[in-house]
Amino acid sequence: MSISLLDFETESIKVGVYLSRTNDENLKIRVFIIPTHLIKRDDHYSVMFNTIVTADSDKIKPGEMCNPQNILSHKGKVLENMEVVSKPETIIRADDRRIIISLELTSVVVYPELRDPSGSPCVVASWIYFQDVK
């Protein structure tokens, strides 16, 4: 069994865009897949990545800052009717192969009282990860 950390080139990053409404706000949620490491074990590839989830609101307002401790003390609201504009996808190249990474969101929770530095609500997303090697 051979395990190695490979160099790779990021070919493209396609942002995922989702639209939803909560309380009195229209939200545009954006999801980015940022690859950090590529591991090869025998003939199998595994991509490690960070996911960035941001929300933009049409009603910017102040509030408590988003952070894990504040999230634990507030009740979130699950977004149920999200319009999918585009799904996130990132393509990397290594060993003359293209590796396509995509996510399918399973839930998005918004915390209307908590705000990021731009005044948009804090969001937390869950997803399923898919990888295709060509």
78 is written with which tokens? 């699950």
Provide the mean pLDDT of the chain. Answer: 95
Share of the chain above pLDDT 70, in %: 100
SS3 at position 68: helix
Provide the pLDDT confidence category of residue 24 given band limits of 50, 70 and 90. confident
Looking at residue 10, its pLDDT comes to 98
Query: Has residue 26 got a pLDDT over 90?
Result: yes
- Residues 18-34 as b/e (b if ≥16 CB within 10 A, e otherwise) read bebebeebebbbbbbbe
Query: Has residue 23 got a pLDDT over 90?
Result: no
Report the length, in residues, of the chain. Answer: 134
Does pTM surpass 0.85?
yes
Provide the residue ranges of all domains of the chain, joining segments of one domain with +. Answer: 3-133
Looking at residue 2, its pLDDT comes to 86
Question: How confident is the model over 39-59, as a mean pLDDT?
Answer: 95
Burial classification of residue 94, based on how many CB atoms lie within 10 Å of its CB (0-12 exposed, 13-18 middle, 19 or more buried): middle
Tens digit of each residue's pLDDT (9 = 90 or more) over 52-111: 999 999 999 999 999 989 999 999 999 988 999 999 999 999 999 999 999 999 999 999
